[in-house]
Amino acid sequence: MKKLSHYDPAGSPRMVDVSGKSETRRVARAQAFVRIRPAVLKQLPANPKGNPLEIARIAGIAAAKKTSELIPLCHPLMLSHVDVDVTIEKGGVRITASAATTAQTGVEMEALTAAAVAALTVYDMTKALDKSIEISDIFLLEKSGGKSGDYKRR
């Protein structure tokens, strides 16, 4: 069984030492889904607070840049690119976030944080219309780079 790297031999949490790793290009994509009733989805363009999808996109980008401040053992990374795509689908809003860097550690947490915060922003911008909105399906879609190699969700 593989050991979890965020714990020392005594079981105490620690930040992983990545100083011995090579810098490689790292890319990750993650998603989230915000389940919204059809009647509320129709009202999104006329939201009096502004366009919730565009605000969510900007919030996701900002969140990716702050990931190490939010997740205690994440390394601060110089991101070379972050993108958040927010689209209306049947039953809700799908958010797809991507992050890229050239570094000694991956950007999975940055992509996941971007997707999660964008989803929370859609909720915040629409909660006055419906309190039953659900956020679901937050997960990593794919990642590339680094010692562990590539991953693609099936």
The whole-angstrom separation of Cα 126 and Cα 110 is 24
Predicted structure pTM score = 0.91
Q: Does 124 participate in catalysis according to the annotation?
A: yes
Q: Which of 7-11, 23-27, 28-32 has the lowest average pLDDT?
A: 7-11
The whole-number pLDDT of residue 33 equals: 98
Q: Which residue is catalytic, options 83, 124, 130, 137?
A: 124
Q: Are 122 and 43 in contact (CB under 8 A)?
A: no
User: Is residue 12 over pLDDT 80?
Assistant: no
CA dihedral of 124, 127, 131, 132, whole degrees rounded to 10? -70
Q: At 18, list the tokens.
A: 């990545």
Residue 153 DSSP class: -
81 or 9, higher pLDDT: 81
What confidence tens digit (pLDDT) does each residue in 38-86 have? 998 988 877 776 788 999 999 999 999 999 999 999 999 999 999 999 9
The whole-number pLDDT of residue 2 equals: 65
Average pLDDT over residues 136-151: 94
Nearest-10 crossing angle of helices 52-65, 108-126: 150
The whole-angstrom separation of Cα 39 and Cα 42 is 5
Output the CA–CA distances (angstroms, integers) from residue 91 to 28, 97, 107, 115, in the order listed: 26, 19, 29, 18
Instruction: Classify strands 92-103 and 134-144 as parallel, antiparallel or unpaired.
Output: unpaired
**Mean of the per-residue pLDDT values of the chain:** 91
Output the CA–CA distances (angstroms, integers) from residue 1 to 4, 18, 102, 151, in the order listed: 9, 21, 29, 19
Q: At 138, list the tokens.
A: 């937050």
Average pLDDT over residues 82-100: 97
The whole-number pLDDT of residue 128 equals: 86
What is the distance between the terminal CA atoms of the chain, rounded to a whole angstrom? 23
Residue type, 4: L
Q: Among 3.40.50.12780, 1.10.10.60, 3.30.70.640, 3.30.70.370, what is the CATH number of 24-144?
A: 3.30.70.640
Average pLDDT over residues 107-111: 97
The whole-number pLDDT of residue 7 equals: 72
